[in-house]
Amino acid sequence: MPRASLSTGIDVEYVTDGDPTDPALLLVSGYTAQYMSWRQGVADALVAQGLHVIRFDNRDVGLSSKLDGQGVRPDAVLAAQLDGTPMPEVPYTLSDMAADGIALLDHLGIERAHIAGSSMGGMIVQTMAIEHPSRVASLTSIMSSPGDMRIGRPTAEARDALLAPQPPDRADYIRSSLNNEVWASKRYWDPEEMQQHAAIQYDRCYYPEGATRQLAAIYASGDRSELLAGLDVPTLVIHGRDDTLITPDGGERTAELIPGARYLFVSDMGHDLPAPLWPMFAEMIGAHTRVAG
């Protein structure tokens, strides 16, 4: 994978697929997820739609820059957000992560791109569209929410699975990936594939320290609802009925807020992108980018 030193002071590992002369689509990953959370099959299907696909590791995950030793208490950040009390200092926010994505486009010489993000990645691309609208040709927000803490709240079981400490041992880490079943697409749950993917991620870069800083960034960034309502960007919102991590009202509210947004509610999708849904997913995003021009 190539590596880019960005104007934000962050180095990112990235990979591209497809013809660089085709319209660019920047894919942004979710909480603690390396770039390959967008499986190669998804990238290939999007390339087949005539897109130049760019994937990268967010800061504090994968092979991109780590902010080693910068401590933060996400619970204190969340409490301040809910109580309206002074916000503790955080290493970075979603705005900083959005700026990384824009800086990667700068590095690649891309003036405007279609952007799509899943989960926390959806929050990041929403922020990109709000803060850098001239760089965004279209927005796709997937299994995400507008940052209103009352919207898209996880079930207790999903919250506990997400926040459980990650085991340091490789075999235990791989087994713990089976806990993802709580928010996965019920129809397509594949425990063998999930464990294989967990092994690949662990071997490439296991870095649980970054999780607390990314979670604090989500909490510190607050509610985007008012700013989303002022967007003038062609928008597609995708959410699944089976999602228990960011429940479907997160996607529904996002689509309600953004003027002219289209909402795709997928009955057999959870908080994941299972292989049987890749063709539909690629066709919807491909059509969205073509309409957006």
Residue-wise pLDDT tens digits, 27-49: 999 999 999 999 999 999 999 99
Percent above pLDDT 90 for the chain: 97
Q: What is the pLDDT of residue 281?
A: 96
Q: What is the pLDDT of residue 265?
A: 98
Q: What is the pLDDT of residue 1?
A: 83
Nearest to 238 by CA among 180, 177, 284: 284
**What is d(CA 205, CA 213) in angstroms, rounded to the nearest whole number?**
17
Does CATH place domain 3-154+209-292 in 3.90.25.10?
Answer: no
Query: Do residues 109 and 4 touch, judged by C-beta distance below 8 A?
Result: no
**What is d(CA 64, CA 31) in angstroms, rounded to the nearest whole number?**
14
Per-residue pLDDT tens digits for 198-241: 999 999 999 999 999 999 999 999 999 999 999 999 999 999 99
Distance (Å) of CA 239 to CA 62, 110, 249, 268: 26, 28, 9, 10
14 token code pair: 């990235």
Q: Over 90: is that where the pLDDT of 13 sits? A: yes
How open is the CA angle 211-212-214, to the nearest 5 degrees?
65
Residue written as token pair 């200092």: 89
Q: What is the pLDDT of residue 120?
A: 98
CB-based contacts of 50, cutoff 8 Å, min separation 6: 22, 23, 286, 290
Per-residue pLDDT tens digits for 17-29: 999 999 999 999 9
Average pLDDT over the chain reads 97
Distance (Å) of CA 288 to CA 51, 102, 116, 140: 12, 21, 11, 9
Q: What is the pLDDT of residue 173?
A: 96
150 token code pair: 């009352």
Q: Report the amino acid identity of residue 117.
A: G
Q: What is the pLDDT of residue 33?
A: 97
Per-residue pLDDT tens digits for 103-143: 999 999 999 999 999 999 999 999 999 999 999 999 999 99
Residue extents of the structural domains in the chain: 3-154+209-292
Distance (Å) of CA 290 to CA 172, 224, 259, 262: 44, 27, 19, 14
Confidence of residue 78 (pLDDT cuts 50, 70, 90): very high
154 token code pair: 């996880």
Query: Do residues 26 and 101 touch, judged by C-beta distance below 8 A?
Result: yes
Q: What is the pLDDT of residue 104?
A: 98
CB-based contacts of 95, cutoff 8 Å, min separation 6: 127, 131, 221
Per-residue pLDDT tens digits for 233-274: 999 999 999 999 999 999 999 999 999 999 999 999 999 999
Query: Do residues 11 and 105 touch, judged by C-beta distance below 8 A?
Result: no
**What is d(CA 184, CA 181) in angstroms, rounded to the nearest whole number?**
5
**What is d(CA 130, CA 235) in angstroms, rounded to the nearest whole number?**
12
Backbone angles phi, psi at 20, to 5 degrees: -60, -15
Q: What is the pLDDT of residue 293?
A: 83
- DSSP-derived 3-state class of residue 116: strand
Query: Do residues 23 and 50 touch, judged by C-beta distance below 8 A?
Result: yes
